[in-house]
Structure 1
Amino acid sequence: MAMLLLCGECEFKIISDSASIDRKIKFHISPKSNIALKFLRTQLGSLLAHQFRGKGLTTEQIPWNEIALMVLGKVKADVQDQPIVVIT
């Protein structure tokens, strides 16, 4: 799923339960996951653009940065100490 967040031009088709990268690689994804990935990709794009300009993260962007790092596998959530976060 990390490929959907970072690679190429991604197209999300919610009706057909699929997402494709550059119209070459196709994934079947549930509608809820499809919407979540689409929204996370949008947030991650604006977050990276903000950081490339050399600006610091705002308080609204910090949680999105943490979620993106967890999705991309850089940080593992410690289930015992932290509450479970459900994104709907």
Structure 2
Amino acid sequence: MANTSSAKKNVRKMARKTEVNRARRSQVRTFLRRVEDAITAGDKSAASDALKKAEPALMRAVSRGVFHKNTAARKISRLNKRVKAIA
């Protein structure tokens, strides 16, 4: 457990930030799951619409430090490739 008052304050700050980041990560995962569901259903228009909504959400999370830039780029690239592959 933290001993100094500044360390205790940092623990409180980290707890708040963790909650915020958990919510952001969950929101992004929801967007990605919508794309996945549309891909598995074979609906190309729904998949591309979901991807257009998921991409800015993912990059917003990157700018706020929730995901690494390369991770987001890789996810977007792979999803884009799978959407284009739908007949």
Query: Normalising TM by the smaller chain, what interval?
Result: 0.3 to 0.5
The alignment's TM-score, normalised by the length of structure 2, stands at 0.39
The alignment's TM-score, normalised by the length of structure 1, stands at 0.38
Higher relative contact order (CA 8 A, sep 6+): 2
Hey, which of these two has a bigger chunk of strand by percent?
1
